[in-house]
Structure 1
């Protein structure tokens, strides 16, 4: 889209994803993300650091997969759009924050390995309670869990 404000941030999860459901049954997961920027100060020759914190919101199937798969401390890559939230405190002060509404969340493979377990296809997309498995487990290897009968892992998917 021409007016989308897409961002991609790599960082560490600061709190375990919290999963909840809307009254309509849609899954929503939220977690914190920290991004550390380090650089060498040329004047002092010392390493300096700036930490940025983001709130990340995931919806529907992504929310369920994130809550089942990721934990505090996991390094992830988040791609999504920025959204500003504004509110007024009890003292009448206006506050706002910018959060990331995630389109994609994935574990970083820079210092970890993962095992991918595909969800079963659902008609109509969207999320719902207890409709399929999550997706991230540390370690390697292959698993045939959640695969159709007769499926061979080395077989082409088409």
Structure 2
């Protein structure tokens, strides 16, 4: 199974669904074509489609994007075989690990998602008035980098 990054346009509006056990997922497609400059202008190459699926928070997030938006996606590319009237067929499906809008082609607003205790790996919550240092797990008031400022050193 290959790990890949794709840049293309959402081929249809992602739709949030839930499995029988209540887990969120979204099926959608990503399409792109290569353009080449010729003397008379631009010529489009063949249109390539990849089916994609996202799970959990990634599925919830992709459903906030719209059909036609340019996206950058990474994940595992899997081949699925099936039988058609023409014989055996193979379709490639991207199991999306990360996806987001390409800010080169559209304006976006981003806000950081609040983290809950489970997302922090089960760490105990900090005492009242202190926030956890996301880089080192230390309370921000003590400085997460050897007593220095709580800001990362980059």
TM-score by length of 2: 0.68
8 Å contact 1:41–1:47 — kept in the other structure? yes
Structure 2: how far apart are the matches of 1:22 and 1:75?
28
Q: Which moved more, 1:113-122 or 1:53-62?
A: 113-122
Deviations 1:10-29 (A, max 9, x none): 11111000211111111111
Larger Rg: 2
CA RMSD of aligned residues (A): 2.8
Asked whether 1:105 is paired with 2:102, we answer: no
Structure 1: how far apart are the matches of 2:29 and 2:102?
16
Rate the CA distance shift 1:117–1:13 in 2: closer, same or farther, 3 A.
same
Shift of 1:85: 1.2
Structure 1: how far apart are the matches of 2:21 and 2:35?
43
* 1:77 maps to which of 69, 72, 77: 72
> Which segments of structure 1 move beyond 3 Å, counting only runs of 4 or more?
122-125
Higher strand share: 2
Question: How many equivalent residue pairs?
Answer: 124
Q: RCO higher in 1 or 2 (8 Å CA, sep ≥ 6)?
A: 1
For structure 1, list consecutive stretches of 5 or more residues without a partner in the other structure: 126-150
Deviations 1:77-132 (A, max 9, x none): 0111101112234x59432200111111010011222111222223435xxxxxxx
Structure 1: how far apart are the matches of 2:50 and 2:7?
11
8 Å contact 2:80–2:90 — kept in the other structure? yes
Asked whether 1:47 is paired with 2:43, we answer: yes
For structure 2, list consecutive stretches of 5 or more residues without a partner in the other structure: 120-130, 132-149
